[in-house]
Amino acid sequence: MNLKKLVAAVGCASIALIAAQNVQAAGKVEVLHWWTSGGEAKALNVLKDDLQKKGITWEDMPVAGGGGEAAMTVLRARVASGNPPTAAQMLGFDIQDWGAQGVVANLNDVAKEENWDNVIPAAIQRFSKYDGKWIAAPVNVHSTNWVWANKKIFDELGLTPPTDFDGMVKALDKIKAAGYVPLAHGGQAWQDATLFDSVVMTTGGPEFYQKALIDLDQDALKSDTMKQVFERMRILRSYVDDNFSGRDWNLASAMVIDGKAGMQIMGDWAKGEFLNAGKKPNEDFLCFRFPGTQGTVTFNSDQFVMFKVGDDRAEAQKELAKAILSPTFQSAFNVVKGSVPARTDVSDAAFDACGKKGMADLKEAADKGTLLGSMAHGHAAPAAVKNAMYDVITAHFNSDMSAEEAVKQLAGAVAGAQ
């Protein structure tokens, strides 16, 4: 090799070495999450790409199952064996439970540098902080009181979005008479509970929702209003198809997308599936608040809880936390995911009609005091209470249990779980 070639070869080698060192310096993040549907995976790619551009390697740890029950089981096993991931997707009260275990990182430095205290709403911070310390980075705000409808079916039958529960029933009847599945639903506990969020809100209004599902007031839980909630759950049950049992939520979304079913009652992550299938709001599908819940928002916020990791991983973890809260990322990610930004200072310009509505509704509800945590998605009560409620809601939905009996069981189960 002549001298020129040798110098060039050494140059290349050292550039490669420096590049490798940079990658190593930037490190890797291992992230546990349950975003495995088409729309969810697409949204998560926005975060993966963002980090990869910063030279951080993404080690994926997906655990399928909406609502995150299965993911939490895997997480417990990982932490118990002394090998926590860098970060784990988590909801509401679960974050607080992990905070109490003393295994999570303190993000106060990043939070201070990036001014999180002033750009994240108090309703979200209440879950992101434990004992005054930031332990989680909120990536979005979802809400559960939405209906996703097939526009072609609505147009064909001359339907417009109903505005109260009776109107909903009339619309479901029309869709049924025309030979479509009226309600696309997946029979899984968290999906039944997602319906329940909306039915409680439309039946009792925000004060009742607060009393029954957040304050866990026994009188509210045993009330005639709650009896009516279960009667209405029974009515909704009569509009699902025979194969609903165990169906994943995204397959229920696909029924609406494909024109087999008229509507799905689901959080706005469903929009991610419609978009992923190339569908457009107000052209192919409609989004509207569950009839009778306009002006209220039952929210949940996906957050990434950061675990205590060794020094070799701390820098990359910090970068992950920073990336999640960056305003450009919050817009780019939530446009795809179906949620709205967790930061209050992000423009709605890049969002479609449903996203713009979601952002405006969130603001309105926050101002009016009608922004309430979703029970189904861990933002109303701790996991033990939530699971006790799930059991009764699902047992009632899947049997001929009377509304009286369901009310009795619900009140008893909640008291027993506290």
State the minimum distance, in angstroms, from the CB of residue 337 to ligand GAL. 7
Name the residue whose CB lies closest to ligand GAL. Answer: 66
Cβ of residue 33: shortest distance to ligand GAL, in angstroms?
A: 8
User: What are the angstrom distances between the C-alpha of 390 and each of 204, 249, 358, 387, 395?
Assistant: 19, 16, 26, 5, 8
Closer Cβ to ligand GAL, 159 or 335, answer by number: 335
CB of 66 to ligand GAL, least distance (A): 3
CB closer to ligand GAL, 11 vs 246: 246
**Min dist. Cβ of residue 273 to ligand GAL (A):** 10
- Shortest distance in whole angstroms from residue 399 CB to ligand GAL: 25
Ramachandran category for residue 114: left, alpha or beta (phi over 0 → left; psi -120 to 50 → alpha): alpha
Question: What is the phi/psi pair of residue 254, to 5°?
Answer: -60, -30
Looking at the Cβ atoms of 191 and 317, the one nearer to ligand GAL is 191
304 burial type by CB count under 10 A (0-12 exposed, 13-18 middle, 19+ buried): buried
- What sign has the CA pseudo-torsion 314, 318, 321, 323? negative
Say how far apart CA 410 and CA 414 lie, in whole Å: 6
298 vs 370, which CB is nearer to ligand GAL? 298
Three-class DSSP category at 210: helix
C-beta of 165 vs 244, nearer to ligand GAL? 244
Angstrom distance (rounded) from CA 397 to CA 404: 13
Nearer to ligand GAL, 91 or 240 (CB): 91
Say how far apart CA 370 and CA 227 lie, in whole Å.
Answer: 23
Distance CA 398, CA 191 (A): 13
CB of 65 to ligand GAL, least distance (A): 7
90 or 229, CB closer to ligand GAL?
90
How is the beta sheet containing 297-300 ordered, strand by strand? Answer: 142-143, 297-300, 371-373
Burial 22-58 (b: 16+ CB within 10 A, else e): eeeebbbbbbbbbbbbebbbbbbebbbebbeeebbeb
Q: How far is the CB of 398 from ligand GAL (least distance, A)?
A: 21
Between 172 and 252, name the residue whose CB sits nearer to ligand GAL. 252
Structure tokens at 395: 């047992």
Provide the minimum distance between the beta carbon of 385 and ligand GAL in the complex, in angstroms, as a whole number. 17
Residue 310 CB, shortest distance to ligand GAL, in Å, is 29
Please check whether residue 331 is in contact with residue 346, taking contact to mean a CB–CB distance below 8 angstroms: yes
> Where along the sequence are the contacts to ligand GAL (CB under 6 A)?
34-35, 40, 66-68, 91, 142, 249, 269, 300, 302, 377
- Choose between 40 and 352: whose C-beta lies nearer to ligand GAL: 40
Minimum distance of ligand GAL from residue 55's CB (angstroms) = 27
Which SS3 state, helix, strand or coil, does residue 101 take?
helix
Between 151 and 273, CB nearer to ligand GAL: 273
State how far the Cα of 120 lies from the Cα of 110, in Å rounded to an integer: 14
Q: Which residue has the tokens 């479509």?
A: 180
